[in-house]
Amino acid sequence: MKTPHTLTQPVATLTGVGAQTVNRLHKLGIRLIQDLIFHLPLRYEDRTRVHPIGSLTAGMTVMICGKVDFIDVLNKGRKSLICRISDGTGFLSLKFFHFSADQHNTMKAGTWLSCFAEVRHGYAGLEMVHPEYRVLANRESYIPENHLTPVYPLTEGLSQLTLRKAVKQALNEVELLEDWIPAELLQRYQYPSLLEAIHTLHAPDESVSMVALQNGSLPALKRLAFEELLSHYLSLKKSKVSAKVWQAPSFFSPALENSKAHFLRSLPFALTGAQQRVIAEIEADCVSSHPMMRLVQGDVGSGKTVVAAYAALLALTAGYQVAVMAPTELLAEQHYRNFSAWFASFQTQVVYLTGQLKGKPRAATLQALADGSAGLIVGTHALFQDSVQFHKLGLIIIDEQHRFGVHQRMALRDKGQQAGLRPHQLVMTATPIPRTLAMLQYSDLDISIIDALPPNRTPVVTSVIPAERRDSVIDRINHWVDKKRQGYWVCTLIEESEVLQCEAAEKTAELLMQALPAVRIALIHGRMKSAEKDAIMQAFKNHELDLLVATTVIEVGVDVPNAGLMIIENPERLGLSQLHQLRGRVGRGADDSYCLLMYQSPLSDTARQRLGILRDSNDGFVIAEKDLQLRGPGDVMGTRQTGQIHFKVADLARDADLLDIIQQIGEQFFIDTPHAVQPLCDRWLGVSTNYAEV
């Protein structure tokens, strides 16, 4: 007997799904029968009608029926089987590079075939290469499909046929799915029922518009995208509600006013209005008895670090420890120097911990944390290792938070959990998050934005130039160095291989050293030892070097005000937000700064559009919105270390209109339909529902 439990049965219980297929389905995230139901097609093929051969043009993917005129094997060049078919309206060639004697014998002159493939230009007119074909008894024996044929996302070793058979079996159980969206909502937005939407998307009949399927405007697709986005929102909303139950230390102290005044007087600069506003928001959180969970967004150079230091001051003055976690040793070391300088006149020991710290120095640091003599620790992911124990952790500050997996952040939070209290959390990012994405992915966090740069910052002048002008760019470096200025030459990723990236950077450095013998050049990349990288960066900061050739390892955390020239090779390979981050390494002083985007010709229209956006804007939030529209969402939530947020159906660029209603509906849904929140989260997010509780 069928029960809702059937949907949570493993895919191995389906007919024809053996151990190998199970493993391949697991790679696609398909483990249960329900997962197959929500594994939707990427696109569709139209086999519902036969096209006359005479009506075809190159680029069409169609079903045709024709009679074999002749067949031949060509041995010239790559051996191939050529078969010409006609249907009275025209003729077309079929080409097979891989074929058997049986195929050759089957396609005799006079045989009728049905063929499905893309039509291309060939030597003898139009052709199909390796079409799907079937031998027919006669012209009338072909029976067209009564619905569009789904084409599913696959993995290596898994065929469309196998996946279609498995999905077809799973769809027999679809009526067991409960529709958790109230009828009133479905009616308001004219969405179909869950059952109707799923059947429409797996097997759309000829009445369904192929254009609506492809552009995402079909109500069936919108309904499922709506449900998925709603489940993400509810998941984070749930964690925010549960966080209110927890208690946190209140950073109120009689000495606080004096400490704040002393800290602000000791800074060599005045805080901007935007920094002061965000500080006030943080302070209001930290005197509360519930854990602060706040995200501070600020464009490159907006002064997030000093805001974080102010938050640290609140905790330290109240007698609590502070942990500052950064994603790279380079950035951690820079934070260590800044925090050490800012707290030099306070009775606070600042310590530093990375994976490189060994032996007695490491033991001493761990002891100082455990006994409370160290008030503030700056480090990398080494901070959440088992050996690290805190005496009284009250505040966690995480920089460039999207670089960490959520589990790592949770591990650090759990270390600070004592006597029923959880530490406050401040997470920061210099990667501006589009409003639409922030609203969905950070509904469990309060968001503060530092939306102004310090007054002495001069906008970076950005130019887009072809690689053919490389020699004149190299000449420009000589003039730049003569003015006692420094610069970066960034080599972008060639392939998804750090080894190849480093090799390219090494080659570039050698060529530049030959072309610029008077310029002091050094190379830095991700495969170097940390000590070596740190030594080179220190030499660059001390102006013992003029030009730093680097991979994108310098994207985050390098602050050299005298470096005002940035040359980025092959910028078309990077996303806009990453290019903006790299550009943010210059323009950190009062002098003019320049960024040259040196692309390989020819540029695609999309690449030209993207680089034009960067040239015309220095606003990271504008750039991030455009990047989302052009490329889709990056992993800003941090549920994985790399890659993109995996929505099953929703597309944040395509479904931006839904995001405007999700927040409002989500709030009401939480109140009116509380029993449906967990089932919806389980359906769409599975185990990741726990990820939100950071």
Residue 3's pLDDT band (boundaries 50, 70, 90)?
low
Topology of the domain covering 256-450: Rossmann fold (3.40.50)
Q: What superfamily does domain 49-141 belong to in CATH?
A: Nucleic acid-binding proteins (2.40.50.140)
pLDDT of the residue at 435: 66
Quote the crossing angle between the two packed helices 219-243 and 656-672, to the nearest 10°.
50
Where residue 114 falls among pLDDT bands split at 50, 70, 90? very high
Q: Which two tokens stand for residue 105?
A: 């014998």
| Percent of the chain clearing pLDDT 90 (strictly above) | 46
Q: What is the pLDDT of residue 498?
A: 59
Contact at 8 Å (CB) between 354 and 299?
Answer: no
Return the pLDDT at 689. 38
pLDDT attached to residue 296: 92
Tell me if domain 256-450 and domain 461-617 are identical in fold: yes
Decide: 47 and 63 in contact? Cβ < 8 Å.
Answer: yes
As a whole-number percent, the residues of the chain with pLDDT over 70 amount to 89
Q: What mean pLDDT is predicted for residues 601-630?
A: 83
Q: Is the pLDDT of residue 116 over 90?
A: yes
Q: What angle do CA 246, 252, 258 make, to 5 degrees?
A: 155
Q: Which of 211-220, 399-408, 467-476, 627-636 has the lowest mean pLDDT?
A: 627-636
Residue owning tokens 């898994």: 158
Cα dist from 488 to 117, 386, 498, 553, whole Å: 49, 39, 19, 12
**Which are the contacts of 258, defined by CB distance < 8 A and separation ≥ 6?**
none
Question: DSSP per residue over 364-419, as a string?
Answer: HHHHHHHHT---EEEESGGGGSTT---SSEEEEEESSGGGS-HHHHHHHHHHT-BT
Q: What is the pLDDT of residue 457?
A: 75
Q: What is the pLDDT of residue 641?
A: 35
Which CATH superfamily, name and number, covers 461-617?
A: P-loop containing nucleotide triphosphate hydrolases (3.40.50.300)
- The set of residues, in sequence order, having a beta carbon less than 8 Å from that of 329 and lying 6+ positions away, is 354, 356, 380, 530, 533, 534
Can you give the pLDDT at residue 235? 85
| Average pLDDT value for residue range 476-489 | 94
In the predicted structure, residue 242 carries a pLDDT above the cut 80: no
Q: For residues 260 and 278, what is the distance between their CA atoms, to the nearest angstrom?
A: 15
User: Is the pLDDT at 480 greater than 90, yes or no?
Assistant: yes
Residue 514 has pLDDT above 50, yes or no: yes
The pLDDT of residue 694: 35
The average confidence (pLDDT) of the chain is: 85
What is the spatial distance between Cα 601 and Cα 624, in angstroms, rounded to a whole number? 25
Over residues 652-672, the mean pLDDT reads 84
Say which DSSP state 36 is in: H
d(CA 402, CA 575): 15
Per-residue pLDDT of 59-105, as tens digits, reads 999 999 999 999 998 887 778 899 999 999 999 999 998 888 888 88
Domain residue spans of the chain = 4-44+149-208, 49-141, 256-450, 461-617
Q: Which is more confidently placed, 417 or 315? A: 315
578 pLDDT band, cuts 50/70/90, is: confident
Task: Write the pLDDT tens digit of every residue in 354-364.
Answer: 888 889 999 99
pLDDT value at residue 412: 67
pLDDT in tens, 282-325: 999 998 888 898 989 888 778 899 999 999 999 999 999 999 99
